[in-house]
Structure 1
């Protein structure tokens, strides 16, 4: 018999909400702003971010983290750090963290689960940035705890942020599920923490690692697969 679930933890970016203007679009504009052909893509930026957020404890928020990421990538491809800083400035000035929409079914899922589960958010990202996104969602008050991984604890897929959220909710890992879209951070992070994973399907035919549950839309969680 499957152990009951008392708490559901959610990822934020591309799980509960998404920017109206994507990071890829802003990155392309940042290259245009410094009149240089693109020499790295958004996936390389994300990978650099994961390295920097765990390896550098002296950064002062998301803006400086992005500068470090762009500068590291500029070094790698033989471009100047000053150019990278100019790109990062343009990116930061163009980004509005309240300019987000909930993903389809997000509000319905959260409202349904809130009736009989404790809810939390475990998100990689700077608190000042992620808090703005979350505050823009009509259902933000349904979450009893928010852990900013990479700041309050090591970034996902390390397990510490999950453990911190569950401690706040007074729920053990075996009675929790984490909902997220990333096979690189969310699913392995949940597994590392001893938490069941519910993966928001992105079209990957054979997900690795394999999640415990797969949902096509978030409102599929209105009838939780762990209760079937």
Structure 2
């Protein structure tokens, strides 16, 4: 018999909140501010993000390291890439975020239910992610927050989920993780032994190769009728 769910872990970025402006639009502003032609797309930064987590001290340092490397590979000098990174950081402030549809009602529904304990498991630096939570008004809604990549290896490693469940005092077979990413959220939950709810964003709306336990269309659907 499958154990009943008593804990819910949530992803943050593109699950509960999103930036108002796309990374590419912010990067284009950064290049313009520095006075150089675009050297690389934002997708290259996001493709390499996790590779810099271990060696960087925070997200600002991470961007400078990554943008410096990308600039050199594009034929520019490292200092130019670092300048673009600083301009990007100035534009990509954590308060430039907003709740996604259904996020507030979903968190409230499970927090007020009494059956569940809530955690947040997010890839990202503590300072940046805390400020996002404050901006969207969710800073007090989770019993524990794990900043994967800093408190533990980044998702999809199982360790961030294990830390969250230890703090909640429950086990993987009694927990579910809700997220938008197959490669990070669904794969990570599976590695840690949690069941998963996948709510795809526009970039991952295709039929998944990695099957979640449940695939839903929205947070509102999750709040209205939990599938477990």
Q: TM-score, normalised by structure 1?
A: 0.92
Matches within 5 A, 1:74-223: 74-114=71-111, 115=113, 116-203=115-202, 204-222=205-223, 223=225
How many residue pairs align between the two structures?
Answer: 223
Q: Which runs of 4+ in 1 moved over 3 A?
A: none
Gaps of 5+ in 1: none
Q: 1:16: which partner in 2?
A: 16
Q: Distance in 1 between matches of 2:107 and 2:169?
A: 19
Q: Which moved more, 1:14-23 or 1:136-145?
A: 136-145
Give CA-to-partner distance per residue, 1:19-42, whole Å, 9 cap, x none: 122222111111222333323222
Please report the TM-score for the alignment, with normalisation by the length of structure 2. Answer: 0.92
Q: Which runs of 5+ in 2 are unaligned?
A: none
> d(CA) in 1 for partners of 2:201 and 2:129?
22
Once residues 183 and 78 of structure 1 are traced to their aligned partners in structure 2, the CA distance between those partners, rounded to angstroms, is 34
Q: How does 1:9-88 map to 2 (within 5 A)?
A: 9-54=9-54, 56=55, 59-88=56-85
Q: In 1, distance between residues paired with 2:212 and 2:42?
A: 25
Q: Is the 8 A contact 2:19 2:97 kept in 1?
A: yes
Name the counterpart of 1:6.
6
